[in-house]
A and B are shown apart, each in its own frame.
Chain A
Amino acid sequence: MVPLENYLALSGILFSIGFYGVLARRNAVLILMSIELMLNAVSLNFIAFAAYLDPDRIIGAIFAVFVITVAAAEVGLALAIVIRLFRNRATSNVDDAAIMKW
């Protein structure tokens, strides 16, 4: 069986890639994809912990379902706001959305 550490390492790598994407990408849609990657890393973590450490109650798997649901809601809202920004400005680059300094 694959040891737990491998899953945790994979999750850590995914989370780091997502975090890098958030910092390095300037397009709002790509930032959202990076955030999704971070959330998926979290879900993977929860499921791995549930399967290995808590196989009777699998609370972690339940948590992962909630994470997925909330992430969908959040992304739906985020895309709506990005579309609004795009209509105002014809851009989805977050650097252009900087009337006020960050």
Chain B
Amino acid sequence: MNGIDLVGPQFAVLIAAGLALVVDAVLPRQRRLIPFVALAGLALSVAWSISWVARDDYQTAFGGTLVLDRYAVFFYFVFAGIAAAVVLASIEWVERAGRGQAEYYALVLASTAGFMFLASSRDLISIFIALELSSIPQYILAGWGKDERSSEAGLKYLLLGAIASAVLLYGMALLYGFTRTTELGGIADAVAAGGDANRSLLILAVALVIAGFGFKMAVVPFQMWVPDVYQGAPTPVAAYLSVGSKGAAFAVVTRLFFEGLGPGVASDDWSMIFAVVAAVSMTFGNVMAIAQTDIKRLLGYSSIAQAGNIMVGLAAISVAGEEFVLGASGVIFFVAAYAFTNLGAFIAVIAISQRIGSDRIADYAGMWKRSPALAGVLALCLVSLTGIPPTAGFWAKLYVFNSAIRADMAWLVIIGVLNSLVSAYYYLGIAKTMFVAQPAEEATFRPPLTLSISLGVAAAGVLALGLIPGPVLSAAHDAAETLALVY
């Protein structure tokens, strides 16, 4: 029983996934209930996480392969929130797609459970299993649509994902050979004791691991799948991939590097790898986004740039001493802020494209006159993605850039700020199209209720994190400190 209690938040989500399938089989006339079964499971999961916060008693489960600490619980909240928003945003779309409703929600929930396991994994084996638990449902979801583009997106995502898994595993195998253990604490000890012997082998292993996770984080040079999959996959799924998969990958990489390969363990070497990847990702994503005419493709490229921004926090891993946690807490806060912001943008896109039947940015002209609420929220999210106050994105960028300055990486911050200027051009360009240009037709419209709710929550989150970031910042800081407890 104690074991189940320790993985309670994931357990609730998995139960709901099973229940969704049972409801579909037993009550075929009550299919409308299925999304609410999913939401109930997520609510139970959040409640279970809250009970762990209240108990404030953190421990490891299953022989230390999983750990329930503040860091994991913070991400439980983030992933449950993401899944709830995605379920709400999917209802309309899934009903129109008309088949396999229960399976759709079950897959979303299964991969959410995978994300949660990823955030709490502390062993290479459980990291790998959790990664696949979260990835395999996503491959199916990307290919869910009936059209050829969706099949193509699913195939590309799966083939490239499988290659990335193989590369990641090769890195893990070398790491295991180097340290003779798969447990992160043991890896930290072995690497620290190993000294400079076989250093090149260690760096090769770590580079392969970064490459494998880089695919999930969608950073250059492992980004080639992003625009195609975002464009081809159903929009709710693209929203899910853009925040869930990226967030979970950052969660596990941050734990892996800060716990297993942290300060004093060649961290200068990976700090430099992260810094270069971050700089290249930001620049590539922003430059490619400028020329896009399809909004989902543009959001795909912008998410590559945002991944680069988040990675600036990882580059700050080389900061020593008490400020060691700055980079990690920056990553954590950025993932939370990015989740609200990008979900808001994608849900607004879902609502608009359901109505106008197009993903072309030119067709968004005059959206402010047709649906002020949707245009307003989309503009707010774009402002937040740019990083302008008073939004969540501003604090997120400020925080990670600050950690990079503490790590003596002023050059990285300069590149980051220049990139923010470039990104302002295309983000605010969309806003300009919506507010200034004349609409093709005057008919006004309102989004459906379920989309309105999730849109409202996302917008409230963006504003709340922007106006009063204090509570979440300190929660992120506490979460990052549990990573440093190992030392």
Contact = CB atoms under 8 A, between A and B. Distances in A.
Interface string A3-38: 000001001000100110010000010011001001
Interface string A42-62: 100110010001100001101
Nearest to A63: B125
B143 A84 contact: yes
B159 interface: yes
Interface in B178-201: 180-182
Nearest to B227: A100
Nearest to B153: A100
B136 A15 contact: no
Contacts of A84: 143, 151
Contacts, number: 122
Nearest to B166: A38
A85 B166 contact: no
A59 B132 contact: no
A85 B156 CA distance: 11
B176 A49 contact: yes
Contact of A59 (B163, B182, B227, B232): B182
Interface string B135-161: 010011001000011011111101100
Nearest to A48: B177
B173 A73 contact: no
A53 B177 contact: yes
Contacts of B140: 77
A89 B227 CA distance: 22
Given A81-B154, A97-B155, A99-B152, A42 B177 contact: no
A74 B162 CA distance: 8
Given A39-B169, A81-B143, A28 B177 contact: no
Interface residues of A, number: 43
Interface string A66-96: 1100100110011001101100110000100
A87 B156 CA distance: 17
Contacts of A73: 132, 136
A32 B231 CA distance: 24
Q: State the main secondary structure of chain B at its contact with A.
A: helix
A98 B169 CA distance: 29
Nearest to B128: A66
Contacts of A32: 159, 162
A70 B128 contact: yes
B158 A81 contact: yes
A38 B170 contact: yes
A60 B170 CA distance: 12
Contacts of B180: 49, 53-54
Interface in B112-149: 124-125, 128-129, 132, 136, 139-140, 143, 148-149
A88 B148 contact: yes
Given A45-B177, A53-B177, A77 B224 contact: no
B151 A85 contact: yes
A15 B170 contact: yes
Contacts of A62: 125
B224 A100 contact: no
A38 B163 contact: yes
Contact of A35 (B128, B136, B159): B159
B125 A100 contact: no
B158 A99 contact: no
A41 B170 CA distance: 8
A84 B146 CA distance: 10
B159 A66 contact: no
A35 B161 CA distance: 10
Contact of B136 (A41, A42, A67, A77): A77
A89 B136 CA distance: 24
B170 A81 contact: no
B347 to A, nearest CB: 23
Contacts of B182: 59, 63
B227 to A, nearest CB: 8
B159 A94 contact: yes
B254 to A, nearest CB: 22
Nearest to A70: B132
B149 A100 contact: yes
B156 A97 contact: yes
A99 B163 CA distance: 22
Contacts of B125: 59, 62-63, 66
A78 B143 CA distance: 11
A66 B182 CA distance: 13
Given A45-B173, A63-B182, A77 B128 contact: no
B176 A60 contact: yes
Nearest to A85: B151
B165 interface: yes
Contact of A42 (B153, B169, B231): B169
Nearest to B139: A77
Contacts of A38: 163, 166-167, 170
Nearest to B186: A59
Given A15-B170, A45-B173, A94 B158 contact: no
10 contacts: A15-B166, A45-B170, A46-B173, A53-B180, A59-B176, A74-B162, A81-B154, A81-B158, A89-B148, A97-B156
Given A81-B143, A100-B228, 15 more contacts: A18-B166, A32-B159, A35-B162, A35-B163, A38-B167, A39-B165, A41-B170, A45-B177, A54-B176, A62-B125, A66-B129, A78-B155, A88-B151, A97-B151, A98-B152
